[in-house]
Amino acid sequence: MALILNGDAELWAIVLLSLKVSIFAVLIAALIGMPVGAALAVARFPGRRAMIVLMNALMGFPPVVVGLLVYLMLSRSGPLGVLELLYTPTAMIIAQVVLVTPIVAALTRQVIEMLAEEYSEQLRSLGVSRLASVPVLLWDARLALITALLAGFGRAIAEVGAVIIVGGNINHVTRVMTTTIALETSKGNLALALALGAILIGIAIAVNAMVSAVSLRAEQEGLRHA
């Protein structure tokens, strides 16, 4: 615990990198996952059901496998090898985006579909087209979507398998909280591992508190599906 209280520079660099990687990953996942989820909820096109099944399957994909696939894409001989991203924070962000996007998309679809059912006649009555209804639905589902993003962040920050494969756990470059805990524990350096573990738990609690705050807010505003 002394490490936390003394503001150990190495420890905080690791925490900061973790937060940076996961926050970036969640933001990118939101930019991809929310429109995709909303489109799946509102549009009717062939292959829609298949896409929903695929998305739900991706949501439960083992992180290690996602790491492996991203590794293969980014490795020197892979299709994106020329970008030389392997063992960089960017590679870790990519892996987490792949992990989190299906979660965001699936939850978005669920929420938007429910809301669309409730709103559809009213919006049609007001002359709002199907396409124009998407931003309306996204905005009115905002509290539920924030919850979805928090869930995605929770998964990203706590994940170890994928980032260790594509990041390589390089000191001062790609060491994040989870990978450091794994490494330091195996080396017997329990102090650093425990300190990081405590911070990770603190983050998890903070995320949960935010989820509660959001749903309390939703209740106060009389929102049922949020």
Partner 1 sequence: MRDMLCDTASSLFVRNLRVVRNGKALLNVSRLSLDGPGPTLILGPNGAGKSLLLRCLHGLIEPDQGRVEQDGTPLTDRHKAQQAMVFQQPVLLRRSVAANLDFVLKRQGLPRGARKLRIESLLAEGGLEGKARQPARSLSGGEAQRLAILRALALDPETLFLDEPTSALDPNATQMIERMILRASSRGVRIVMVTHDIGQARRLAADIVMMQGGHVVEHGLAKQVLNAPQSDAARRYLAGGLVT
Site for partner 1, rule CB under 8 A: 118-119, 121-122, 124-128, 136, 139-143, 220-224, 226
Kindly report the number of other CB atoms within 10 A of residue 198's CB atom: 13
Find the shortest distance in angstroms from Cβ 146 to partner 1: 13
Q: Which is nearer to partner 1, 51 or 136 (CB)?
A: 136
On the 0-12 / 13-18 / 19+ scale of CB atoms within 10 A, 5 is exposed
Find the shortest distance in angstroms from Cβ 142 to partner 1: 8
CA distance 146 to 30: 10
Q: Which is nearer to partner 1, 104 or 116 (CB)?
A: 116
- What's the angle, vertex CA 176, arms to CA 4 and CA 167, rounded to 5? 165
Q: Which residues of 143-181 are buried (b: 16+ CB within 10 A; e: fewer)?
A: bbbbbbbbbbbbbbbbbbbbbbbbbbbeeeebbbbbbbb
Q: Which is nearer to partner 1, 141 or 166 (CB)?
A: 141
Q: Which is nearer to partner 1, 77 or 129 (CB)?
A: 129
CA distance 36 to 104: 9
Q: Which is nearer to partner 1, 64 or 223 (CB)?
A: 223
Q: Which is nearer to partner 1, 110 or 178 (CB)?
A: 110
Kindly report the number of other CB atoms within 10 A of residue 82's CB atom: 9
Closest among 97, 88, 99 to 25, alpha carbons compared = 97
Find the shortest distance in angstroms from Cβ 115 to partner 1: 8
Find the shortest distance in angstroms from Cβ 126 to partner 1: 6
Give the H/E segment covering residue 37. helix 9-42
Find the shortest distance in angstroms from Cβ 122 to partner 1: 4
**Residue whose token pair is 């003394």:** 6
Find the shortest distance in angstroms from Cβ 118 to partner 1: 6
